[in-house]
Amino acid sequence: MEVSSVPTENELLNNVDALLNRVDQNDLPTPAERRRLREAAGLTQTDIAKVLGTRREAVANWEAGKNEPRPPQRTAYARLLEGLTVRFPASATETAPDSAVPDTLTTTSAPETPSAMAPAAAKPPAHPAASSTRPASTSRRPSAKKAVKKTAAPAAVVDPRFENGPLAVVDCEDGQVSAYCVGGLVLDVPAKSLPALVDWTITEARLGQTRLHRNGRDADPILVLTPAALERYGLPAALSDEERRTGRLKDSHKVVKQIQRAELQLTQRGLGPWARLFRDPEGPRRRCVQLCIPSWNALDAREWDKKDDPQLPGMHPADLARYLGTYAQRVMTPRGTTSTTGLELMTALRPPTRAEKNETTGEFERALNTDALTAVYEHVECEVPDEHPKLKGKFERHHLRTPAEMLMEEPYDWCRPLTDDECMLPYLVAIDVNMAFAAATNGLTVGLGAPTHLTGNPVFDPKVPGSWLVDLSHVDLSRVETGGRTLDAGLLPSPFTPKGDRPTGPAWYATPTVAYAQELGFEVAPIEAHVRLESGRYLDPWYNRLRDAYVATMADLGVTTTMGGQEFLDAITVHKQVDPTMALLLNAIKSTAKGGIGKLRQRSRGQVPYYEPWPALARETWRPDIRAAVLATVRIGMHRKILKTAAATGRYPVAIGTDCIVYPSTGPSPLDVLPYTDEGKPVPGTFRLGVSPGMVKHQGTQTVLWAEAQFEEAGAVFNLANLIKTDPASGEGE
């Protein structure tokens, strides 16, 4: 009998996986760019070959384009080039003429964005207010199916399924419904009802976003509905008081009835500010659309806008599409609040499962990824908040748990009185750590598996993440070796408590805190511990994604990684006036980093009675131990640099609030505080001015006389850092 040549389903899936693997390898810049980055960094081919464990000739061949690196060197080489690209971006003169970004979305050129026109100089250009009328130069298309692409050399592969971007802002003007997309594209929307709008989005709009990891899933398209669009489709401009409490439109509303008649499905959350409407999938293809309704408070002003001066209500749909679309492209498609999006970004970059072929049956089965959070394990008593079910019956209702009963890894909130010598100085200068919480996740090893309880005085291992009960009250900072200078411990906060007080006995600490005590040269002797033997750098891709988004947005605002010293300070002073839309994006990115870490220990918001399980506890990503490790790393990293600064200059901080440090100074600038070598470079290990996460910027300056007046008025319960901080949105706490 003749054997059929038609491939089986499994063979086709294997072919697709092979093709995806090949596509995944296209992650390196051109050979010429590889050489440029190496030379810009002052590295030799031998330097790179040594760290990658290969021969110099191999690196030369990679830069000549004769061959390509193979795993595992390829991944490491890609990360090296990525880091060099951030530090040494190509200038305009180095960019090839054929590398211009094509306009694949419109039939005519879209207008230049304000960020593209903004100079990098310190003085901001005039920026016109958003108009209430449609821009005359905005491109239009009747529908995605009838589009004619403009011929241009592609800068990157665009998934044709999502060629119009991740989302659209739907508006109605003079009876015409329009969908504003990223890049200035505007689509004419033929839909006459909300169900028809959803079906048009699924079949014609070509909206959505390609998955961030090959084992993840593509992002569903988002439609942002303006008040005019709500009126056009029969929806109220605002929810009633009862609907706001329930977070959804009443099921008796006529539009909800329309959705039911059209056989569309809503999730259990119903038709609310972030509603999902879907039909059953067609094979592997999802058919789901998410609605974002700003006038129903979908975009909370505390995260997406300016709380004291809201910009979104009057923003033109084209600017709103640019804002949210750029966020989606640089971070991910929004999933609700920035906090929720920050948490979802972790899962999108580290999916818990993958499809794995069973060699016996030939079928693909669900398999777990070892580098992800894949299960909900039993929680540890010392790590959970007071309302957790595990504490039921353990303490009195209003009992305040002590450090020996609870892991209290929190950001700094410390302030001390000024000394007589410091009162003679004229200024207090506050510096702020960029993206402090995100920076702390870079390279941080966290637990991935179940906790293991160790008793009987276990030996401390700084490489094992966990919670340790240990007495650090013997650590005396005046005995720390600082290159010949004796530290004044009375002017320094303790690195082991958020309030800066010296510990008085055994307490629970995360691994980074105990490791720091050991780093300072003191003996540590744990009494017991809860450790995670399965561990990894789970948050590395999350940090890289947010770092790149932050640095790119700061560049749009005229602040680049090549700036330093006074040039950087001048640019950072006016960066928010360069482009108001990108300034909102910057705050949203910082809120995503802050909120994502906070969500790891999301507390009950009154959904259930005390000591009853709340929904967040069912997530694999409810991991208070990871949050504690990040916050400990933030505090320890700041203290390490404070010691280095004190050793180099004899200067001590007078207040620390989360990621803001206040120093007495002879002048009003950070340049009067931060130490530099004779060559004009920052002293190694101290705070460094710059735009990258972990570096610092100027937060504000006040006089010492002002501080003394504040002390007299407020008394002991007072932190100078909280008032000198002129930008509350830059805080990185939970």
When pLDDT is cut at 50, 70 and 90, the band that residue 17 belongs to is low
pLDDT at 688 over 70: yes
When pLDDT is cut at 50, 70 and 90, the band that residue 710 belongs to is confident
Cα distances from 255 to residues 249, 541, 604, in angstroms, run 9, 41, 33
When pLDDT is cut at 50, 70 and 90, the band that residue 713 belongs to is confident
Residue 325: CA atoms inside 13 Å, Cβ hemisphere, count? 25
Q: Which residues of 516-547 are buried (b: 16+ CB within 10 A; e: fewer)?
A: bbeebeeebebbbbbbbeebbebbbbbbbbbb
Radius of gyration of the CA atoms of the chain, in A: 28
> Region 21-30: what's the mean pLDDT?
60
List, for residues 385-406, the tens digit of each pLDDT value.
999 999 999 988 788 999 999 9
Contacts of 587 (CB under 8 A, 6+ apart): 303, 306, 729
In DSSP terms, 265 is beta-bridged to 278
> Region 269-282: what's the mean pLDDT?
93
The per-residue pLDDT for 392 is 92
- Token pair for 65: 């384009």
Residue carrying the six token digits 């209500």: 313
Q: What angle do CA 306, 427, 501 make, to 5 degrees?
A: 80
Q: Which of 707, 698, 597, 709 is nearest to 122 (CA)?
A: 698
Cα distances from 364 to residues 11, 18, 212, 352, in angstroms, run 11, 15, 21, 16
pLDDT at 134 over 80: no
Long-range contacts of 176-179 (CB under 8 A, 24+ apart): 177/229, 177/232, 178/134, 178/140, 178/317, 179/205, 179/223
Cα distances from 292 to residues 244, 266, 296, 455, 519, in angstroms, run 15, 14, 9, 51, 49
Q: Mean pLDDT over all residues of the chain?
A: 85
**Single-letter residue type at 81:** L
- Token pair for 717: 């319960």
Q: Which of 404, 387, 374 is nearest to 467 (CA)?
A: 404
Contacts of 680 (CB under 8 A, 6+ apart): none
List, for residues 428-469, the tens digit of each pLDDT value.
999 999 999 999 999 999 999 999 999 999 999 999 999 999
**Single-letter residue type at 169:** V
When pLDDT is cut at 50, 70 and 90, the band that residue 6 belongs to is low
The per-residue pLDDT for 39 is 82
**Residue 679 and residue 664: Cα distance in Å, rounded?**
24
Least confident of 139-148, 188-197, 471-480: 139-148
Count CB-CB contacts under 10 A for residue 237: 12
Q: Which residues of 27-61 are buried (b: 16+ CB within 10 A; e: fewer)?
A: ebbeeebbbbbbeeeeeebeebbeebebeeebbeb
The per-residue pLDDT for 715 is 61
List, for residues 43-92, the tens digit of each pLDDT value.
888 888 888 888 877 888 788 877 788 777 887 888 888 888 877 887 64
Residue carrying the six token digits 């009162």: 423
List, for residues 544-563, the tens digit of each pLDDT value.
999 999 999 999 999 999 99
When pLDDT is cut at 50, 70 and 90, the band that residue 479 belongs to is confident
The per-residue pLDDT for 437 is 96
Query: What percent of the residues of the chain are helix, what percent strand, and what percent coil, each to the nearest 5?
Result: 40, 15, 45
pLDDT at 289 over 80: yes
When pLDDT is cut at 50, 70 and 90, the band that residue 26 belongs to is very low
**Residue 319 and residue 339: Cα distance in Å, rounded?**
23
DSSP-derived secondary structure letter, 110: P
Q: Which CATH number fits domain 16-90: 1.10.10, 1.10.1060, 1.10.260, 1.10.3470?
A: 1.10.260
> Region 581-596: what's the mean pLDDT?
96
> Pick the residue with more confidence: 712 or 701?
701
The per-residue pLDDT for 139 is 52
pLDDT at 145 over 70: no
> Residue 236 burial by CB count (10 A; 0-12/13-18/19+): exposed, middle or buried?
middle
Q: Which of 286, 237, 282, 288 is nearest to 266 (CA)?
A: 288
The per-residue pLDDT for 619 is 96
Contacts of 678 (CB under 8 A, 6+ apart): none
The per-residue pLDDT for 480 is 85
The per-residue pLDDT for 101 is 33
The per-residue pLDDT for 272 is 94
Cis peptide bond prior to 31, omega within 30° of 0: no
> Pick the residue with more confidence: 512 or 140?
512
List, for residues 598-649, the tens digit of each pLDDT value.
999 999 988 889 899 999 999 999 999 999 999 999 999 999 999 999 999 9
The per-residue pLDDT for 88 is 80
pLDDT at 178 over 50: yes
When pLDDT is cut at 50, 70 and 90, the band that residue 142 belongs to is low
Residue carrying the six token digits 């059929």: 4
Q: Structural domain boundaries of the chain?
A: 16-90, 138-336, 381-410+440-536
Listing DSSP states for 20-73 in one string gives: HHHHHT--S--HHHHHHHHHHTT--HHHHHHHHTS-HHHHHHHHHTSS---TTH
What percent of the chain lies above the pLDDT cut of 90? 65
> Region 502-527: what's the mean pLDDT?
96
Cα distances from 484 to residues 282, 487, 516, 544, 650, in angstroms, run 71, 9, 20, 38, 12
- Token pair for 199: 């079906």
List, for residues 248-273, the tens digit of each pLDDT value.
999 999 999 999 999 999 999 999 99
The per-residue pLDDT for 156 is 56
> Region 174-185: what's the mean pLDDT?
92
The per-residue pLDDT for 69 is 85
Contacts of 640 (CB under 8 A, 6+ apart): 516, 685
Least confident of 103-117, 336-350, 691-705: 103-117
pLDDT at 695 over 70: yes
